[in-house]
Amino acid sequence: MDRSLAMAKSTITDFILSWTNQGPKPETHQDLDVDIHDVGGALAKSGKMWMTGVYFRNKEPDLTILVGEEEKKFQVHNKLFVSKSKFFKAACSTSHFREGVERLVRLPEIDVESMKRLIGWFYESHLVLPTDIISDEGYEITLNLLNAADFLEIPIVISIITKATQNYIWKCNSWKEDADEAAADEQKKVDLMCRLYECGGKIDAVRLNAYLSNLRDSHKMGLFINAVKEVEDCHPGFFNDTMVAVYSTV
């Protein structure tokens, strides 16, 4: 971890702990709910063009994808995938890669469940995410999907997961009674937010402020501080945004 970042963590800890002992602030939640999944609909309203699976409904697939170690086969449409993924655009370039000539792409790095969800998004412009992204199963699905989107270079999917995550934490106002379970859940939230920043995402300041206020008012700020400390090589952007949020809500 960068030495200056480690020093910053140390120097602000006392400040945060003293801040959590202040009285509760008036609730100032702002309603920022949006349809985070229907990308096609949003673009249609803005007048922008968006290629969807409807165009390919009666066309034969011309690209084979072998996913995971088991090489699960998916047959899809090359033009659609290269239009939405920088990875596929590069891999399917006939002038540079064997995959482009053979129309066959192997993805042992991607799990089958994530690929199924991404294929649904490619064709329907709708991404299916778990309702509870911090449950054990929901967290694994969300993190795997995020990693897949990062690997395949699909920034819109990363943005969708970012919005889903910030909406989730924005609405968090209760924590488990069991200390270990509460700490584990908090660690998953922090780890997911850090990973989002590594993938180019960014948590909305309003939602982050609201979440930190809820933590303070519930006397749970220590969970968050400890979770941040546990992150190895914490993304500086996430750390800085967190500190700005702390100071802005004092």
The pTM is what? Answer: 0.77
The pLDDT, as a whole number, for residue 100 is 53
- Residue 218 CA to residue 20 CA, distance in Å, equals 9
| Contact call for residues 152 and 118 (beta carbons, < 8 A) | yes
Give the E-state strand segments of 133-197 in sequence order.
Answer: none
Least confident among 8-17, 188-197, 212-221, 228-237: 8-17
Q: Quick one: residue 200, left, alpha or beta (phi over 0 = left, psi -120 to 50 = alpha)? A: left
Element (H, E) at 75: strand 72-76
Torsion angle defined by CA atoms of residues 45, 50, 51 and 57, in that order, rounded to the nearest 10 degrees: -10
Domains identified in the chain and CATH numbers: 1-37+148-250 (no CATH), 40-126 (3.30.710.10)
pLDDT tens per residue across span 142-176: 999 999 999 999 999 999 999 999 999 998 888 99
